[in-house]
Amino acid sequence: MPYIFGCRQTFFRILLGLADNSAMSTAKNTSQTLAFIGGGNMASAIIGGLIKQGTPSQNLLVVEPFEEARQRLQAQFDIRVLSKADPQLSDAGLVVWAVKPQIFKEAAQQAGKFCDKALHFSVAAGIRSDSIAHWLGTERVIRAMPNTPALVGLGQTGLFARAAVTTTDKARVEQVVATTGHLIWVEDESLLDAVTAISGSGPAYVFFFIEAMVEAGVKMGLTAEQATQLAIGTFEGASQLAKTANEPPSVLRERVTSKGGTTYAALTSMQHAHVSELFQTALHAAQQRARELGDEFGA
């Protein structure tokens, strides 16, 4: 579990940059405003979590160029939404960069000049902190790799902080991420590529296997609704069992695999097809693509 402050009042004072002077002595900006550059799914997940935890909507600001997205954000959260960066961003103590990798540099050039005193938190895939620090002209950068279950409060996020980031800065970002699920810190930024391969892209793998199970179930005579319930429920139940059990997944697998039984037949078929090796190859492909994104769209 991520580090959570015991006192609710302290939680929001640190999150919004309102802690006392001693606690914030290393921070460069104590504004209440939390700004988002980009208002897509990940930004919406974080905004929804913050509001649910009690953050006033007037303390949130989003820069979102697409009219349809702006209308959705305003209707859903009743927050300030800008079509482009302007001096209002200078009030932000924390800026969350939730843009696509290929437009990050352009967005930084447009918005960075208004928020150079802020702590910057990027959830853009692949873009390395060296590039972000260069584009924004600050070393106070934290890079993250979240995943889409953040939309339902069950996200997994990997985090990396540059050397200039303070303990208070890290605690502030932890509180933001905690509204979307769980987190881990990595000391080597390159490990975020592994996080991307495992959990960042991971939900798609689960959906892929659910699709295959549903299709197989229908071919076996079940209705699509029946097969969908069984497939999703099985992933949900098995995941919860793996989370709460004292044994590793390998032991749990062995416990439901009787030699000569149905599970044994299925797993033996997968082994003969080298499913495990193929799946690991796919994960390495995702890791490699994450590296390529940094090379392709970085400074």
Q: What is the pLDDT of residue 260?
A: 95
pLDDT confidence of residue 238:
97
Is domain 202-295 classified as CATH 1.10.3730.10?
yes
DSSP string covering 171-219: HHHHHHHHTTEEEEE-SSTTHHHHHIIIIISHHHHHHHHHHHHHHHHHH
Domain ranges of the chain: 8-194, 202-295
pLDDT digits (tens, 9 = 90+) for 82-119: 999 999 999 999 999 999 999 999 999 999 999 999 99
Check residue 298 and give its pLDDT.
84
- In this prediction, residues 223-236 reach a mean pLDDT of 98
Per the CB < 8 A criterion, the answer to whether 131 and 102 are in contact is no
The pLDDT tens digits of the residues spanning 162-217 come to: 999 999 999 999 999 999 999 999 999 999 999 999 999 999 999 999 999 999 99
- Which of the following CATH numbers is that of domain 8-194: 3.30.465.10, 3.40.50.720, 3.10.129.10, 3.40.50.360? 3.40.50.720
pLDDT for residue 36 is more than 70: yes
On average, the pLDDT of the chain sits at 89
Q: Any bridge partners for residue 61, and if so which? A: 35, 80
- What pLDDT is stored for residue 31 in this prediction? 62
Cα dihedral: 266, 268, 273, 279 (round 10): 80
